[in-house]
A and B are shown apart, each in its own frame.
Chain A
Amino acid sequence: MHGVKRTRQSREAEEARKLKEQAKLKDYLLLTEDLLSRKKKKDWSKEAFDLATKLLHSNPEFYTIWNYRRNILINGIFPSSSVEEINSILSSDLSLTTSALKAHPKVYWIWNHRRWCLENVPPGPSSPTGEQTQGWRQKNWEREMYVVERMLDADARNFHAWNYRRYILSLFPTPPPPTQELKYTTHKIESNFSNFSAWHQRSKILPLIWEKEGKEREEEMRELEFDLVRNALYTDPNDQSAWLYHRWLIGPHPDPILLTREITSIQELLSEQPDSKWCMESLVHYTLLLISLTPETEREEMKSECRRLLAELAGVDPCRKNRYQEISERLGV
């Protein structure tokens, strides 16, 4: 029960609730029993299909009934349908489950059923010369992009929706260019810097674009990313999302000049926000990276700066003080 407030009910109120529920419970049990026995008898009729719709409407988590529904389609309905009809049945199943999704945005089984519907959309319609087009698929895919965007409007962190979005993008008959997806993440980030899901998506899309556009364009785009993330860091230095993204942007093997520039920039932010845990934490991380790129004899000053920051971190962020102490001890005295 995620996020449902606990209420105290008297015994009488509880009994009254159960009594009121009895009719609903009886209907539910009868329908369940009917469908499970039809399933055993391999009843692949349209009537069973409609009953499944009804049951899934009251309980969209009943995975066995989702399976049964698909088996009715595969074994009973598709064999006697034309490809046009199959396309239209699957399109209407997608429409039908959209309302279920809005009411239950985190139910795995509904998302899963949409994937199955999409994957089974047949090629077509035929062109005048008799060739199969991808028209039906393209149309269904486009509609799914629309649905998933509405789901992300309602909850911009819903990981089911993000996973489904990546799934659609990866199987699009004619996919939109990755730059369009990058724009989408920019839009999501600009409406809320704290949306780490969108930053994460950016970390997956940019490498695809860079691979295509070459080193020079990558360098230019990286600088724009630093501008975007710096803007976010200055807007709310306590928000983890942008700091995590900054770490991705720097990467595990940065150029020392770039690293030094970013360290200086964070030091400036720290001077404005002297208690900022994330400024200090990031400075320690990046300074440790820089130490690994520096000759042994020139490391001591940086090490002592790290030790100073780690001691301060243990004070401002006591929950994680053991971690700071451990890193400090590893640095030696």
Chain B
Amino acid sequence: MTSDSELLVPLHVAYIKSLGENKDDLVYHMTAHLRLNAIYWGLTALCIMNQKEALDREEMIGFVMSCWDDEAGGFGAHPDHDAHILATLSAIQILVIQDALDRIDIPRVVKFILSLQQPSGVFAGDSFGEVDTRFSYCAVNALSLLGKLSELDVEKTVAYIRSCKNFDGGFGACIGAESHAGQVFVCVAALAILDRLDEVDHETLAWWLAERQLPNGGLNGRPEKLEDVCYSFWVLSALSILQKLSWIDSDKLSSFILSAQDPDSGGIADRPGDMVDVFHTLFGVAALSLLGYPGLVDLDPVYCMPASVIEAKGLRKSWQALERRSK
């Protein structure tokens, strides 16, 4: 088999393991503001490839805890970086996957997350107040994983997401913004967690999502834009929540994702021939899992975490992936 038809699991595992070993590289330090997110991306990709043990559990939990910002009561992306809701969700996701939630002061984190909700219902990323429906999703996902959704003002949260809905069925980052597949994922997944999918115009949105597929099999994030592997996950996740995965050509999409692998050093890029990174590696592997690629572990498209972890917490929603193929 060539790299165009097969997922190069051992190479991707080696690539993810190597990411922590580049400490003499400028790029490694210039991306410190994404470190905790990157660990979540790498760990989740490993779990989906059934290689969770490839990274040391204790070391990982220790690093997560070293990112705690005690002044704010949340997690930064790196030790001594400020708390932000993006890093806080990654920390919680990592600790849930590693079954180590007992390490954190849950009431304090909940307080931090709830403090970010604005009068309009949207969430800010931190105390400086940038707002985005991404942050609403982070808050809903994190509170759900912590078992504290009951403390959220659901009506207010849903009202803001509703006000970001466009005529094409999609959602934007804020009121008035253009529909974007990434924002569609966060809004639909947040509504799924809150059991409020009645807010979605299923038929129109599934149509818009299906129209993201381009003749080369890849998916774009907005009309008349280029394909990119990360949209594979965002579009597929929303389609599987709407139970319409069959509305695109899954074989062509699988081939596109596989063609974006680096066949020499592992990892997946945004598109064929580009530099790989752990973000696209996760979203490529996650999409292949939803498409039933053989040998992969089931991914929960709502939380973007291993399905077994979400099921064990009793949080599974009614999404539908393609049946896993045996070969």
Binding site for B on A (CB under 8 A): 1-6, 8, 18, 21-22, 24-25, 28-29, 32, 36, 39-40, 58-59, 61-64, 66-67, 70, 108, 112, 115-116, 157, 159, 162-163, 166, 170, 194, 196-197, 200-201, 203-204, 239-241, 244, 247-248, 251, 318-320, 322-323, 326
Contacts and interface: CB of A to CB of B under 8 A. Distances in A.
With a 10 A CB-CB cut-off, give which of B84, B168, B178, B228 has the most chain A CB atoms: B178
B248 interface: yes
A8 B263 CA distance: 12
Binding site of A, secondary structure by majority: helix, strand, loop or mixed? helix
Given A5-B275, A319-B248, A196 B224 contact: yes
Contacts of B30: 28, 58-59, 61
A157 B275 contact: no
B269 interface: yes
Given A3-B270, A241-B224, A248 B167 contact: yes
Contacts, number: 143
Contact of A64 (B76, B166, B168, B210): B76
Nearest to A40: B80
Given A116-B128, A159-B178, A204-B176, A64 B247 contact: no
Nearest to A58: B30
8 contacts: A3-B270, A25-B29, A64-B81, A67-B82, A157-B222, A163-B176, A241-B224, A251-B167
B37 to A, nearest CB: 12
Interface in B217-263: 217, 222-225, 228, 244, 246-249, 252, 262
Interface of B: 24-26, 29-34, 76-77, 80-82, 84, 126, 128-130, 166-168, 172-174, 176-180, 206-207, 210-211, 213, 215, 217, 222-225, 228, 244, 246-249, 252, 262, 264, 269-271, 273-277, 280
B247 A6 contact: no
A248 B170 CA distance: 13
With a 10 A CB-CB cut-off, give which of A5, A170, A203, A244 has the most chain B CB atoms: A244
A278 B26 CA distance: 48
A245 to B, nearest CB: 9
A61 B30 CA distance: 8
Contacts of A24: 26
The 6 A-B pairs at the shortest CB distance, nearest first, are namely A319-B249, A1-B275, A240-B223, A112-B130, A323-B247, A64-B81
Given A32-B29, A36-B80, A320 B213 contact: yes
B262 A6 contact: yes
A246 B292 CA distance: 36
